[in-house]
Structure 1
Amino acid sequence: MFHKLIYLLFKLKLIQPSANSINYWMDCEDTNKLEYALAHGNYKTRKLAAEALEQIAKPCSIPALLKCINDKVQNVSIACLNALERISPNDELIKTVVNKRFKWVNDIREKRAKFEANKDVKHTIYRWRRTSKESFDRVKEQLKKPIR
């Protein structure tokens, strides 16, 4: 009864379900509530719902997981990819989607690590004497002189 009330308040957008509620829905294998939490929850709720759907591993939840692999929060999309990989490991379409997404995630992590490593490095740029600069200064000096 208590978890039904939590789900009702969640649908009315008054509260977010706790980890205990999501674990209860996972134990009851209530995929409809978990899919709703995956679509409409905050980032913590979405991540917990994706992990719960991974534990249940029912193929009926594949469309909801496919919708959430492009989530703004990286941890949610990774959890959805892990769930997809566990639910149908032999499906070629899901294999290609998971591989491309993990490559994208690895690229983002490498860029972030490279940025963090070079954040404190100060670059010193030496200005070498250029002939064009010298000739420009020489012409400027000649123009300052009066014409005869």
Structure 2
Amino acid sequence: MFRPISFLLIKLKWLKPNQNTINRWKYNNESEKLRFILQHGNYKTRPLAATALAEINDRSSIPLLLLAIHDNIHHVSIAALNALEILDVDMETSKIINRKRFHWVKLFNDKKNKSPKPKKKSNIYRWERASKKSFDLVKERLNRPIR
């Protein structure tokens, strides 16, 4: 009785599913709910949903997993790639998986090999600022005799 109501509350975003809920859906083969969480869940539940879809061997979720590869959250895209590898449908998905992994490695190496920016040399003569010069001008004018 409470489970359909809880899924409705999750759809309305009043409740957030936890790991136990996702595990229960996985053991009951409720792939529709897992697909919904993969699309609309938060950053903690989307990777759990992706791995659960792979474990129940739901091949109808492959398009959603392919979309999840390009997620902004890195853990979600890694979980989606791992799920696609577990499902291992055909050579096209393997090519996509390898291309994405090589892209990540390239980005990582580019970050690592990026030359550090040269440090900005600090101005040793800080006393030559414009405000200091204007203060010196005022001081000099005050020392002049009044006409």
Q: Which residue in 2 is equivalent to 1:21?
A: 21
Q: Which residue in 1 is equivalent to 2:33?
A: 33
Contact preservation (8 Å) 1:85, 1:95: yes
Q: Which residue in 1 is equivalent to 2:92?
A: 93
In the alignment, structure 1 residue 108 sits paired with structure 2 residue 107: yes
SS, match of residue 46 in structure 2: helix
Q: Relative to structure 2, which stretch is displaced further, 3-12 or 37-46?
A: 3-12
Contact preservation (8 Å) 1:59, 1:88: no
Q: Which runs of 5+ in 2 are unaligned?
A: 122-147
AA aligned to 1:108 is: L
Q: CA RMSD in A?
A: 2.3
In the alignment, structure 1 residue 54 sits paired with structure 2 residue 42: no
AA aligned to 2:93 is: I
Q: Which residue in 2 is equivalent to 1:63?
A: 63
Q: How much has 1:71 moved relative to structure 2?
A: 0.4
Contact preservation (8 Å) 1:3, 1:21: no
In the alignment, structure 1 residue 83 sits paired with structure 2 residue 83: yes
Q: How much has 1:114 moved relative to structure 2?
A: 4.8
TM-score with structure 1 setting the length: 0.72
Q: How much has 1:16 moved relative to structure 2?
A: 1.3
Q: Which residue in 1 is equivalent to 2:145?
A: none
TM-score with structure 2 setting the length: 0.72
How many Å separate the matches in 1 of 2:120 and 2:6? 59
Q: How much has 1:97 moved relative to structure 2?
A: 0.4
Aligned length, in residue pairs: 121
